[in-house]
Protein backbone atom coordinates (compact mmCIF):
# COMPACT_ATOMS: atom_id res chain seq x y z
CA UNK A 1 0.00 0.00 0.00
CA UNK A 2 1.06 3.56 -0.53
CA UNK A 3 -0.19 6.25 1.83
CA UNK A 4 2.21 9.04 0.99
CA UNK A 5 0.82 12.06 2.79
CA UNK A 6 -0.34 10.56 6.06
CA UNK A 7 0.88 7.66 8.15
CA UNK A 8 -1.22 4.89 9.68
CA UNK A 9 0.87 5.50 12.81
CA UNK A 10 -0.54 9.03 13.24
CA UNK A 11 -3.38 9.85 15.66
CA UNK A 12 -6.50 10.46 13.53
CA UNK A 13 -8.69 13.49 14.09
CA UNK A 14 -6.26 16.33 13.44
CA UNK A 15 -4.00 17.65 10.66
CA UNK A 16 -3.92 15.32 7.67
CA UNK A 17 -4.78 12.24 9.75
CA UNK A 18 -8.38 11.11 9.58
CA UNK A 19 -10.53 8.40 8.14
CA UNK A 20 -7.99 7.37 5.52
CA UNK A 21 -5.45 6.47 8.22
CA UNK A 22 -8.05 4.36 9.99
CA UNK A 23 -9.05 2.78 6.66
CA UNK A 24 -5.48 1.85 5.70
CA UNK A 25 -4.71 0.43 9.15
CA UNK A 26 -7.91 -1.58 9.50
CA UNK A 27 -7.85 -3.03 5.99
CA UNK A 28 -4.11 -3.84 6.15
CA UNK A 29 -4.53 -5.67 9.47
CA UNK A 30 -7.44 -7.72 8.18
CA UNK A 31 -5.61 -8.56 4.95
CA UNK A 32 -2.73 -9.80 7.11
CA UNK A 33 -5.19 -11.98 9.05
CA UNK A 34 -6.10 -13.49 5.65
CA UNK A 35 -2.47 -14.36 4.93
CA UNK A 36 -1.58 -11.28 2.84
CA UNK A 37 1.60 -9.53 3.94
CA UNK A 38 1.25 -5.77 3.71
CA UNK A 39 3.93 -3.08 3.49
CA UNK A 40 2.65 0.49 3.81
CA UNK A 41 4.91 3.15 2.32
CA UNK A 42 4.51 6.60 3.86
CA UNK A 43 6.60 9.77 3.98
CA UNK A 44 8.81 10.17 7.03
CA UNK A 45 7.72 13.31 8.88
CA UNK A 46 10.26 13.06 11.68
CA UNK A 47 13.98 12.28 11.64
CA UNK A 48 13.60 9.82 14.54
CA UNK A 49 11.32 7.45 12.64
CA UNK A 50 12.96 4.09 11.87
CA UNK A 51 12.87 2.97 8.22
CA UNK A 52 10.59 0.10 9.19
CA UNK A 53 8.00 -0.04 11.96
CA UNK A 54 6.01 -3.25 12.47
CA UNK A 55 2.37 -2.17 12.92
CA UNK A 56 0.94 -5.59 13.71
CA UNK A 57 1.72 -9.17 12.63
CA UNK A 58 2.07 -9.15 8.85
CA UNK A 59 1.86 -5.36 8.49
CA UNK A 60 4.93 -3.10 8.26
CA UNK A 61 5.09 0.66 7.87
CA UNK A 62 8.05 1.73 5.69
CA UNK A 63 9.14 5.33 6.12
CA UNK A 64 10.44 6.99 2.98
CA UNK A 65 12.67 10.03 3.36
CA UNK A 66 11.63 12.64 0.83
CA UNK A 67 11.84 16.32 1.52
CA UNK A 68 12.15 17.99 4.90
CA UNK A 69 10.73 15.93 7.73
CA UNK A 70 8.53 18.56 9.31
CA UNK A 71 6.79 21.63 7.99
CA UNK A 72 5.78 20.40 4.55
CA UNK A 73 2.11 21.09 3.82
CA UNK A 74 0.04 18.68 1.75
CA UNK A 75 -0.09 21.08 -1.17
CA UNK A 76 3.74 21.06 -1.29
CA UNK A 77 3.94 17.29 -1.60
CA UNK A 78 3.58 17.12 -5.41
CA UNK A 79 7.15 18.47 -5.48
CA UNK A 80 8.32 15.38 -3.55
CA UNK A 81 6.63 12.75 -5.72
CA UNK A 82 9.72 11.94 -7.80
CA UNK A 83 12.03 11.42 -4.87
CA UNK A 84 9.39 9.48 -2.94
CA UNK A 85 8.81 7.21 -5.95
CA UNK A 86 12.55 6.74 -6.44
CA UNK A 87 12.99 5.69 -2.81
CA UNK A 88 10.04 3.27 -3.01
CA UNK A 89 11.59 1.67 -6.12
CA UNK A 90 14.99 1.49 -4.40
CA UNK A 91 13.44 -0.21 -1.39
CA UNK A 92 11.74 -2.81 -3.56
CA UNK A 93 14.94 -3.37 -5.53
CA UNK A 94 16.55 -4.81 -2.36
CA UNK A 95 14.09 -7.70 -2.39
CA UNK A 96 13.85 -10.74 -4.63
CA UNK A 97 12.12 -10.14 -7.93
CA UNK A 98 8.36 -10.40 -7.59
CA UNK A 99 8.26 -9.28 -3.95
CA UNK A 100 4.95 -7.45 -4.35
CA UNK A 101 1.85 -8.80 -6.09
CA UNK A 102 -0.38 -5.72 -6.03
CA UNK A 103 0.07 -2.00 -5.38
CA UNK A 104 -2.86 -0.33 -3.60
CA UNK A 105 -2.55 3.45 -3.48
CA UNK A 106 -4.60 5.78 -1.30
CA UNK A 107 -5.34 9.39 -2.40
CA UNK A 108 -4.12 10.80 -5.71
CA UNK A 109 -0.57 11.64 -4.57
CA UNK A 110 0.04 7.98 -3.72
CA UNK A 111 -1.65 7.00 -6.98
CA UNK A 112 0.99 8.89 -8.95
CA UNK A 113 3.71 6.84 -7.26
CA UNK A 114 1.65 3.66 -7.56
CA UNK A 115 1.27 4.12 -11.32
CA UNK A 116 5.05 4.23 -11.70
CA UNK A 117 5.57 1.21 -9.42
CA UNK A 118 2.90 -0.69 -11.38
CA UNK A 119 4.77 -0.31 -14.65
CA UNK A 120 8.19 -0.98 -13.12
CA UNK A 121 7.15 -4.08 -11.16
CA UNK A 122 4.62 -5.43 -13.65
CA UNK A 123 1.91 -5.74 -11.00
CA UNK A 124 -1.58 -4.21 -11.05
CA UNK A 125 -2.44 -0.89 -9.48
CA UNK A 126 -5.57 -0.73 -7.34
CA UNK A 127 -6.43 2.82 -6.35
CA UNK A 128 -8.75 4.36 -3.75
CA UNK A 129 -9.44 8.08 -4.22
CA UNK A 130 -10.80 8.79 -0.70
CA UNK A 131 -11.65 12.33 -1.87
CA UNK A 132 -11.91 13.85 -5.33
CA UNK A 133 -11.08 17.44 -6.23
CA UNK A 134 -13.95 17.82 -8.72
CA UNK A 135 -16.51 16.67 -6.14
CA UNK A 136 -14.93 18.72 -3.38
CA UNK A 137 -14.91 21.88 -5.50
CA UNK A 138 -18.62 21.47 -6.27
CA UNK A 139 -19.48 21.36 -2.56
CA UNK A 140 -17.16 23.94 -1.03
CA UNK A 141 -17.87 25.53 2.34
CA UNK A 142 -18.16 29.32 2.24
CA UNK A 143 -14.72 30.90 2.06
CA UNK A 144 -12.95 27.55 1.55
CA UNK A 145 -10.23 27.44 -1.11
CA UNK A 146 -10.93 25.29 -4.18
CA UNK A 147 -8.58 22.41 -4.94
CA UNK A 148 -6.06 23.38 -7.67
CA UNK A 149 -6.47 22.26 -11.27
CA UNK A 150 -3.13 20.43 -11.04
CA UNK A 151 -4.76 18.02 -8.56
CA UNK A 152 -7.64 17.41 -10.95
CA UNK A 153 -5.17 16.54 -13.72
CA UNK A 154 -3.18 14.36 -11.33
CA UNK A 155 -6.33 12.49 -10.35
CA UNK A 156 -7.33 11.98 -13.98
CA UNK A 157 -3.90 10.50 -14.68
CA UNK A 158 -4.25 8.07 -11.77
CA UNK A 159 -7.76 7.03 -12.82
CA UNK A 160 -6.44 6.32 -16.33
CA UNK A 161 -3.46 4.33 -14.99
CA UNK A 162 -5.25 2.20 -12.39
CA UNK A 163 -6.17 -1.39 -13.21
CA UNK A 164 -9.01 -1.25 -10.67
CA UNK A 165 -10.57 1.62 -8.73
CA UNK A 166 -12.22 1.15 -5.35
CA UNK A 167 -15.11 3.52 -4.60
CA UNK A 168 -16.56 3.93 -1.10
CA UNK A 169 -20.13 4.23 -2.34
CA UNK A 170 -22.25 3.89 -5.47
CA UNK A 171 -22.27 7.70 -5.72
CA UNK A 172 -18.49 7.82 -5.65
CA UNK A 173 -18.40 5.16 -8.38
CA UNK A 174 -20.73 7.33 -10.49
CA UNK A 175 -18.48 10.36 -9.93
CA UNK A 176 -15.45 8.35 -11.01
CA UNK A 177 -17.22 7.28 -14.18
CA UNK A 178 -18.98 10.55 -15.03
CA UNK A 179 -16.53 13.18 -13.80
CA UNK A 180 -13.25 11.28 -14.29
CA UNK A 181 -14.12 9.13 -17.29
CA UNK A 182 -13.27 5.90 -15.44
CA UNK A 183 -14.03 2.65 -17.26
CA UNK A 184 -17.16 1.32 -15.45
CA UNK A 185 -15.77 -2.22 -15.71
CA UNK A 186 -12.82 -1.21 -13.58
CA UNK A 187 -14.71 0.44 -10.74
CA UNK A 188 -15.80 -1.63 -7.76
CA UNK A 189 -17.82 -0.35 -4.79
CA UNK A 190 -16.42 -1.45 -1.43
CA UNK A 191 -17.92 0.17 1.65
CA UNK A 192 -15.54 1.13 4.45
CA UNK A 193 -16.30 -0.47 7.78
CA UNK A 194 -16.23 -0.15 11.50
CA UNK A 195 -14.59 -2.22 14.22
CA UNK A 196 -17.73 -3.68 15.79
CA UNK A 197 -15.72 -5.04 18.74
CA UNK A 198 -14.21 -1.70 19.68
CA UNK A 199 -17.33 0.35 18.85
CA UNK A 200 -20.12 -1.56 20.58
CA UNK A 201 -23.21 -0.51 22.53
CA UNK A 202 -21.98 1.09 25.74
CA UNK A 203 -23.84 2.40 28.78
CA UNK A 204 -24.49 6.12 28.49
CA UNK A 205 -24.53 6.53 32.28
CA UNK A 206 -21.17 4.82 32.75
CA UNK A 207 -19.60 6.79 29.88
CA UNK A 208 -20.89 10.08 31.32
CA UNK A 209 -19.53 9.17 34.74
CA UNK A 210 -16.10 8.37 33.26
CA UNK A 211 -16.05 11.68 31.34
CA UNK A 212 -17.27 13.71 34.30
CA UNK A 213 -20.50 14.76 32.54
CA UNK A 214 -23.73 15.18 34.50
CA UNK A 215 -26.24 12.37 34.05
CA UNK A 216 -29.10 14.64 32.97
CA UNK A 217 -27.01 16.43 30.33
CA UNK A 218 -27.95 16.73 26.67
CA UNK A 219 -24.69 16.19 24.81
CA UNK A 220 -24.39 17.26 21.17
CA UNK A 221 -21.16 15.81 19.81
CA UNK A 222 -18.92 16.59 16.85
CA UNK A 223 -15.94 14.31 16.18
CA UNK A 224 -13.36 14.91 13.49
CA UNK A 225 -10.85 17.18 11.87
CA UNK A 226 -11.82 20.79 12.47
CA UNK A 227 -12.05 22.57 9.14
CA UNK A 228 -14.75 24.46 7.20
CA UNK A 229 -15.54 21.41 5.03
CA UNK A 230 -16.69 19.53 8.14
CA UNK A 231 -18.92 22.47 9.16
CA UNK A 232 -18.60 22.24 12.97
CA UNK A 233 -19.84 25.87 12.92
CA UNK A 234 -23.26 24.58 11.85
CA UNK A 235 -23.45 22.56 15.08
CA UNK A 236 -22.51 25.61 17.17
CA UNK A 237 -25.02 27.84 15.39
CA UNK A 238 -27.72 25.18 15.74
CA UNK A 239 -26.94 24.83 19.46
CA UNK A 240 -27.30 28.61 19.87
CA UNK A 241 -30.66 28.41 18.06
CA UNK A 242 -31.76 25.54 20.30
CA UNK A 243 -30.94 27.59 23.39
CA UNK A 244 -32.82 30.57 21.98
CA UNK A 245 -35.99 28.49 21.64
CA UNK A 246 -35.45 26.54 24.89
CA UNK A 247 -33.39 28.65 27.35
CA UNK A 248 -34.11 26.18 30.17
CA UNK A 249 -31.76 23.73 28.47
CA UNK A 250 -28.75 25.94 29.14
CA UNK A 251 -27.72 24.30 32.43
CA UNK A 252 -27.80 20.82 30.93
CA UNK A 253 -26.53 21.40 27.38
CA UNK A 254 -23.01 20.34 26.42
CA UNK A 255 -21.68 20.85 22.91
CA UNK A 256 -18.53 18.75 22.65
CA UNK A 257 -16.09 19.15 19.78
CA UNK A 258 -13.52 16.33 19.71
CA UNK A 259 -10.65 16.76 17.26
CA UNK A 260 -7.98 19.20 16.14
CA UNK A 261 -7.48 21.74 13.37
CA UNK A 262 -6.88 20.49 9.85
CA UNK A 263 -6.64 21.72 6.26
CA UNK A 264 -7.73 25.33 5.86
CA UNK A 265 -8.86 25.19 9.51
CA UNK A 266 -5.15 25.46 10.43
CA UNK A 267 -5.14 29.04 9.13
CA UNK A 268 -7.64 30.09 11.81
CA UNK A 269 -7.20 27.63 14.70
CA UNK A 270 -9.31 29.73 17.09
CA UNK A 271 -12.17 30.36 14.64
CA UNK A 272 -14.56 27.91 16.28
CA UNK A 273 -13.83 29.09 19.83
CA UNK A 274 -14.29 32.68 18.60
CA UNK A 275 -17.62 31.70 17.06
CA UNK A 276 -18.77 30.11 20.34
CA UNK A 277 -17.92 33.41 22.04
CA UNK A 278 -19.74 35.54 19.51
CA UNK A 279 -22.80 33.24 19.69
CA UNK A 280 -22.73 33.60 23.47
CA UNK A 281 -22.46 29.85 24.04
CA UNK A 282 -18.85 29.46 25.20
CA UNK A 283 -20.18 28.24 28.56
CA UNK A 284 -21.71 25.14 26.94
CA UNK A 285 -19.03 24.34 24.34
CA UNK A 286 -16.17 22.00 25.24
CA UNK A 287 -13.18 21.52 22.99
CA UNK A 288 -11.43 18.16 23.43
CA UNK A 289 -8.11 17.44 21.67
CA UNK A 290 -8.06 14.25 19.53
CA UNK A 291 -8.62 11.15 21.64
CA UNK A 292 -7.75 7.50 21.22
CA UNK A 293 -10.32 4.88 20.46
CA UNK A 294 -11.39 3.80 23.99
CA UNK A 295 -12.04 7.39 25.03
CA UNK A 296 -13.81 8.06 21.74
CA UNK A 297 -16.20 5.18 22.47
CA UNK A 298 -17.06 6.95 25.74
CA UNK A 299 -17.71 10.23 23.95
CA UNK A 300 -19.99 8.54 21.44
CA UNK A 301 -21.82 6.66 24.22
CA UNK A 302 -22.19 9.78 26.37
CA UNK A 303 -23.72 11.79 23.54
CA UNK A 304 -27.42 12.37 23.06
CA UNK A 305 -26.62 12.57 19.36
CA UNK A 306 -23.63 12.93 17.07
CA UNK A 307 -23.82 15.68 14.47
CA UNK A 308 -21.99 15.32 11.13
CA UNK A 309 -22.93 18.49 9.22
CA UNK A 310 -20.17 18.23 6.56
CA UNK A 311 -20.42 19.90 3.15
CA UNK A 312 -18.94 16.77 1.67
CA UNK A 313 -17.97 13.38 3.06
CA UNK A 314 -16.75 10.52 0.88
CA UNK A 315 -18.09 8.13 3.54
CA UNK A 316 -18.04 9.35 7.15
CA UNK A 317 -16.53 6.79 9.50
CA UNK A 318 -17.56 8.88 12.52
CA UNK A 319 -21.23 8.39 11.62
CA UNK A 320 -20.88 4.61 11.49
CA UNK A 321 -18.77 4.41 14.67
CA UNK A 322 -21.30 6.51 16.62
CA UNK A 323 -24.17 4.33 15.42
CA UNK A 324 -22.28 1.14 16.33
CA UNK A 325 -22.10 2.49 19.89
CA UNK A 326 -25.85 3.10 19.78
CA UNK A 327 -25.94 6.86 19.30
CA UNK A 328 -28.21 8.46 16.69
CA UNK A 329 -26.55 10.62 14.04
CA UNK A 330 -27.84 13.88 12.63
CA UNK A 331 -25.98 14.35 9.37
CA UNK A 332 -26.03 16.48 6.25
CA UNK A 333 -27.58 14.59 3.35
CA UNK A 334 -24.37 14.62 1.30
CA UNK A 335 -21.98 12.06 -0.19
CA UNK A 336 -21.36 8.88 1.76
CA UNK A 337 -23.43 10.06 4.72
CA UNK A 338 -26.57 9.10 2.79
CA UNK A 339 -25.23 5.53 2.76
CA UNK A 340 -23.91 5.57 6.32
CA UNK A 341 -27.08 6.91 7.98
CA UNK A 342 -30.59 5.43 7.57
CA UNK A 343 -32.83 8.52 7.61
CA UNK A 344 -35.52 8.23 10.29
CA UNK A 345 -34.20 4.87 11.53
CA UNK A 346 -30.65 5.40 12.81
CA UNK A 347 -30.72 9.18 12.86
CA UNK A 348 -31.73 11.95 10.50
CA UNK A 349 -30.37 13.33 7.26
CA UNK A 350 -30.78 17.09 6.87
CA UNK A 351 -30.86 18.84 3.51
CA UNK A 352 -28.52 21.82 3.41
CA UNK A 353 -26.74 23.58 6.25
CA UNK A 354 -29.32 25.91 7.77
CA UNK A 355 -28.66 25.79 11.55
CA UNK A 356 -32.40 26.22 12.24
CA UNK A 357 -33.11 22.90 10.48
CA UNK A 358 -30.50 21.13 12.61
CA UNK A 359 -31.83 22.81 15.78
CA UNK A 360 -35.34 21.51 15.02
CA UNK A 361 -34.03 17.94 14.60
CA UNK A 362 -31.99 18.23 17.83
CA UNK A 363 -35.11 19.43 19.69
CA UNK A 364 -37.21 16.55 18.33
CA UNK A 365 -34.71 14.01 19.70
CA UNK A 366 -34.14 15.79 23.02
CA UNK A 367 -37.87 16.21 23.68
CA UNK A 368 -38.73 12.59 22.96
CA UNK A 369 -36.57 10.08 24.87
CA UNK A 370 -38.56 7.22 23.31
CA UNK A 371 -37.59 8.48 19.83
CA UNK A 372 -33.93 8.56 20.86
CA UNK A 373 -34.23 5.03 22.27
CA UNK A 374 -35.75 3.77 18.99
CA UNK A 375 -33.07 5.54 16.92
CA UNK A 376 -30.41 4.01 19.16
CA UNK A 377 -31.66 0.50 18.38
CA UNK A 378 -31.83 1.45 14.68
CA UNK A 379 -28.32 2.87 14.84
CA UNK A 380 -26.80 -0.38 16.11
CA UNK A 381 -28.66 -2.30 13.39
CA UNK A 382 -27.50 0.14 10.71
CA UNK A 383 -23.84 -0.07 11.79
CA UNK A 384 -23.99 -3.87 11.75
CA UNK A 385 -24.15 -3.65 7.94
CA UNK A 386 -20.59 -2.36 7.90
CA UNK A 387 -17.46 -4.12 9.08
CA UNK A 388 -13.78 -3.98 8.20
CA UNK A 389 -13.82 -7.76 7.74
CA UNK A 390 -16.27 -7.31 4.89
CA UNK A 391 -14.21 -4.43 3.52
CA UNK A 392 -11.06 -6.58 3.58
CA UNK A 393 -12.79 -9.55 1.88
CA UNK A 394 -14.14 -7.31 -0.87
CA UNK A 395 -10.76 -5.57 -1.26
CA UNK A 396 -9.04 -8.91 -1.64
CA UNK A 397 -11.55 -9.85 -4.35
CA UNK A 398 -10.67 -6.61 -6.17
CA UNK A 399 -6.95 -7.45 -5.91
CA UNK A 400 -7.62 -10.88 -7.43
CA UNK A 401 -9.61 -9.30 -10.25
CA UNK A 402 -6.86 -6.77 -10.91
CA UNK A 403 -4.26 -9.56 -11.10
CA UNK A 404 -6.48 -11.55 -13.49
CA UNK A 405 -7.13 -8.47 -15.63
CA UNK A 406 -3.45 -7.72 -15.94
CA UNK A 407 -2.65 -11.35 -16.75
CA UNK A 408 -5.31 -11.44 -19.48
CA UNK A 409 -3.96 -8.23 -20.98
CA UNK A 410 -0.40 -9.59 -20.96
CA UNK A 411 -1.57 -12.75 -22.75
CA UNK A 412 -3.28 -10.61 -25.40
N1 LIG B 1 -10.85 10.07 15.17
C2 LIG B 1 -10.12 9.64 16.27
N3 LIG B 1 -9.97 10.49 17.33
C4 LIG B 1 -10.49 11.74 17.34
C5 LIG B 1 -11.24 12.18 16.22
C6 LIG B 1 -11.40 11.32 15.15
O7 LIG B 1 -9.62 8.51 16.30
O8 LIG B 1 -10.32 12.45 18.32
C9 LIG B 1 -11.07 9.14 14.04
C10 LIG B 1 -12.50 8.63 14.00
O11 LIG B 1 -12.65 7.54 14.89
C12 LIG B 1 -12.66 8.23 12.53
C13 LIG B 1 -11.68 9.16 11.81
O14 LIG B 1 -10.87 9.80 12.80
O15 LIG B 1 -12.33 6.88 12.34
C16 LIG B 1 -12.38 10.22 10.98
O17 LIG B 1 -12.91 9.62 9.84
P18 LIG B 1 -14.09 10.24 9.00
O19 LIG B 1 -14.36 9.31 7.86
O20 LIG B 1 -15.26 10.55 9.86
O21 LIG B 1 -13.54 11.64 8.47
P22 LIG B 1 -12.23 12.00 7.59
O23 LIG B 1 -11.15 12.28 8.54
O24 LIG B 1 -11.95 10.82 6.70
O25 LIG B 1 -12.62 13.20 6.82
9 C-alpha to ligand 1 centroid (Å): 14
Q: Which of 18, 291, 337 to mutate to test the pocket of ligand 1 (most atoms within 8 A of CB)?
A: 18
Comparing 2-193+388-411 with 204-384, is the CATH topology the same?
yes
* pLDDT tier, 192 (very low <50, low <70, confident <90, very high otherwise): very high
| Structure ipTM over 0.90, yes or no | yes
90 C-alpha to ligand 1 centroid (Å): 33
In the predicted model, is pLDDT for residue 199 greater than 80? yes
- Please compute the mean of the pLDDT values over residues 196-210 and round it to a whole number: 97
160 C-alpha to ligand 1 centroid (Å): 30
* pLDDT tier, 14 (very low <50, low <70, confident <90, very high otherwise): confident
pLDDT in tens, 310-344: 999 989 999 999 999 999 999 999 999 999 999 99
In the predicted model, is pLDDT for residue 406 greater than 80? yes
In the predicted model, is pLDDT for residue 134 greater than 90? yes
Residue 236's pLDDT is what?
A: 98
Binding-site members for UDP-N-acetyl-alpha-D-glucosamine are 11-12, 19, 225, 230, 291, 313, 321
Residue 265's pLDDT is what?
A: 75
In the predicted model, is pLDDT for residue 141 greater than 90? no
Can you give the residue ranges of every domain in the chain? 2-193+388-411, 204-384
For domain 204-384, say whether CATH 3.40.50.2000 is its number. Answer: yes
Nearest CA, atom 10, ligand 1: 318
* pLDDT tier, 410 (very low <50, low <70, confident <90, very high otherwise): confident
Poorest-confidence range of 130-134, 145-149, 255-259?
A: 145-149
Ligand 1: residues whose CB is within 6 Å? 12-13, 18-20, 22, 223-225, 258-259, 290-291, 296, 315-318, 321
CA distances from 112 to 19, 84, 163, 183 (A): 21, 10, 13, 18
Q: In the 8-state DSSP scheme, what is residue 184?
A: G
Task: Taking the CA atoms of 135, 141, 147 and 149 in sequence, report the sign of the dihedral they define.
Answer: positive
166 C-alpha to ligand 1 centroid (Å): 20
Residue 412's pLDDT is what?
A: 61
Question: Which residues, including other chains, have CB under 8 Å from residue 374's CB and lie 6 or more apart?
Answer: none
18 C-alpha to ligand 1 centroid (Å): 5
pLDDT in tens, 90-105: 999 999 988 999 999 9
411 C-alpha to ligand 1 centroid (Å): 43
Binding-site members for 1D-myo-inositol 3-phosphate are 5, 16-21, 74, 107, 131, 151
User: What is the C-alpha separation between 215 and 134, in angstroms, rounded?
Assistant: 45
Nearest CA, atom 22, ligand 1: 19
pLDDT in tens, 248-257: 999 999 999 9
User: What is the C-alpha separation between 146 and 288, in angstroms, rounded?
Assistant: 29
- Average pLDDT of the chain, as a whole number: 95
Question: Percent of the chain, pLDDT > 70?
Answer: 100
CA distances from 187 to 10, 112, 177 (A): 29, 18, 8
Q: Quick one: CATH architecture of 2-193+388-411?
A: 3-Layer(aba) Sandwich (3.40)
Amino acid sequence: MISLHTSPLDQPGTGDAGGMNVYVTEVAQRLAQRGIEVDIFTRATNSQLPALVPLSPGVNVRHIVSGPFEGLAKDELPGQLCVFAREVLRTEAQFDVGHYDVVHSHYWLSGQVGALARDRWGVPLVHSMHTMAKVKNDLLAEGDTPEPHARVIGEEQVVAAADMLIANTVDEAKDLINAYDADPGRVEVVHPGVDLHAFRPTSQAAARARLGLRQDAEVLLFVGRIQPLKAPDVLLRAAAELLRTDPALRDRLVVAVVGGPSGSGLEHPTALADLAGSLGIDDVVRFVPPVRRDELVDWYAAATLVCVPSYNESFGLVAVEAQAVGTPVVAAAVGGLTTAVADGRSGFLVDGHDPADYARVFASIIEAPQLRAALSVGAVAQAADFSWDRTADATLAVYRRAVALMASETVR
